[in-house]
Amino acid sequence: MIIRRKVPARSARRRDPARAGGRAGGRGLAVAALLLVAFNLRPAVTSLGPVLAEARSALGMSGAAAGLLTSVPALCFALVGVTAPRLSRRYGPSAVVAAGTAVVAVGLVLRPLSGGTVLFLALSALALAGIAVANVLLPVVVKQRFPDQVGRMTGLYSMALNLGAAVAAAATVPLSGAFGGQWRWGLGAWGVVAALAVPPWIVLARLRTADRPPRTASGPGPAPAPPPGPAGPGPGARMTRSPTAWALAAYFGLQAGAAYVVIGWLPQMYRDAGLPAGRAGLLFAVTSLLGVPLSFALSALAGRLRRQSGIAVALGVFGLAGYAGLWAAPAAAPWVWAVLLGVANCSFPLALTMIGLRGRNSATVVRLSAFAQSTGYLLSIPVPFLVGALYERTDGWRIPLVFLAVLMVAQLAAGVLAGRDRSVG
C-alpha cells in the first residue's frame, strides 16, 4: 500500500512541471511569439513602397512588373494559405509558423540582393508564401492556447500587425539613409527583424502540450483545445457546404479588397483633390495607425459577444460615410474621411476574430481559416484593378467610389451573416 501511494505521488510531481510549462509558461511564451510574428506579417509589403522608385531604377523594373508586385501578396495568400491545414496536421501549427517565419526572413534578406526583376519578384513571393502560412495558422494558435480569450488575443496580435505595417512604411527610408542612402540595406533590414521572431516559435513547437496533447491508454489526455488530428477533410470538403463559412470568406475578401484600394489609391484621391503629396501621405498613415489601438479594443469586444453582426454593420456604416465624404467633397474635411476609413478598415481583425469564434475546435479553425482567407483573397484580387480601370476610364473618382460603396453594402450583408451565433464543423 505504501508503495502504491508513493508511485502516483512521484508520477504527479513529475508531470506537474511539464503541464505548468506547457500551459502557464507556454502561454506567456505564446503571447510574445504571437506579437513578434504578427509584427512581421506586413513589412514585406509596406516597406517596399517608400523605396520602389529606387528599386525600379536599380533593377530595370518595368511599370507592368511594378504593378504585378501589388497583386503578388493576394495571390500568395490565396494559393499558399490553402496548404496550411495539411502542414499543420502533419507537423503542428507552431512548427509550421516557425518554418514560415524563417522563410519570411530568408526571402526578405535575399530580396534586396537580387540583380534583376525576376529574382526580386521570386524572392518577394517566397517571403509572402511564409506570411501566407502564418496568416492562416495564427487564429488556430489563438484557439488552441487561449480558448477563453479568442477576441482579446486576436485583437492583441492584430494591433501588432498594424504597428509593424506602419513602422515599416515609416522607417524604411530613414534606415536606408542610415546606411548611406542604400535602399537595399533599408529593405533587407526587415529580414533581420523577422529572424528575431523565429526562436520563440521553435520553443513553442517543442512544447507539444497545446499542438499535440499527450495520449494515455484510454485516449487523448486533457488539453486546452482539441488538436488537429491526422485525419479529417481538407479545407474545402466541409467548408463549401457551410453558409457561415461562405459568409466569412465573402466578408474577408470584401474587406481585403477595400483595404488594398485604400493602400493603393487613397493618397492619389487626395492628390487629385488638390492636396499636396506630403499631406496625402499623412492622411493615409492615419488610416493605418488607427488600427493599432482599435484592433485590440474591437476584437476584445467582439470576443465577449455571442453575435458580431452589429459590429460588422457599424464598421460598414463608417466605410460608407468615408466614401460619401470623398465623393462629395474630398478636400473639405480630409482628416474626417481618413478617420472614417481607418475605423472601417478594422473589419480585418473582426474577420479574424469571427474565424476563431465560429470554429467548434482548433481542428475546425484550421480548415475554416484556410478556406475563408484563401477564398477571400482570391475574391479581393480584382477589386483594386477594377477601381483603377474605372478611374482611368472616367477620369475621376466618383464612379469608382460608387462601386466601392456597392461593395461595402455587400460586405455589410456578409458581415451580418458571418456574425450570427453559428458554429462551423
Give me the residues paired with residue 359 across strands.
424
| Burial tier of 214 (Cβ tally within 10 Å: 0-12, 13-18, 19+) | middle
pLDDT of amino acid 287: 83
pLDDT of amino acid 218: 37
Q: Is residue 62 helix, strand or coil? A: coil
pLDDT of amino acid 76: 84
pLDDT of amino acid 351: 92
Look at phi and psi of residue 219 and say left if phi exceeds 0, alpha if psi is from -120 to 50, else beta: left
pLDDT of amino acid 239: 81
- Count CB-CB contacts under 10 A for residue 309: 17
Residue-wise pLDDT for 59-73, tens only, equals 888 766 766 676 778
Cα separation values, 18 from 6, 197, 325, 389, Å: 19, 24, 57, 58
- Count CB-CB contacts under 10 A for residue 98: 25
pLDDT of amino acid 25: 55
Query: What is the per-residue DSSP string for 8-54?
Result: HHHHHHHHHHHHHIIIIIHHHHHHHHHHHHHHTSSHHHHTTGGGHHH
Residue-wise pLDDT for 401-420, tens only, equals 999 999 999 999 999 999 99
pLDDT of amino acid 2: 45
Beta-carbon contacts of residue 293 (< 8 Å; ≥ 6 apart): 159
With the CA atoms of 275, 277, 281 and 284 taken in that order, what torsion angle do they form, in degrees rounded to the nearest 10?
40
Can you state the angle between helices 309-328 and 243-272, rounded to 10 degrees?
Answer: 20
pLDDT of amino acid 244: 92
pLDDT of amino acid 227: 39
pLDDT of amino acid 110: 95
Residues 117, 121, 127, CA angle at the centre, nearest 5°?
Answer: 145
Give me the residues of the chain with pLDDT under 70, please. Answer: 1-25, 63-64, 66-68, 70, 208-237, 277, 425
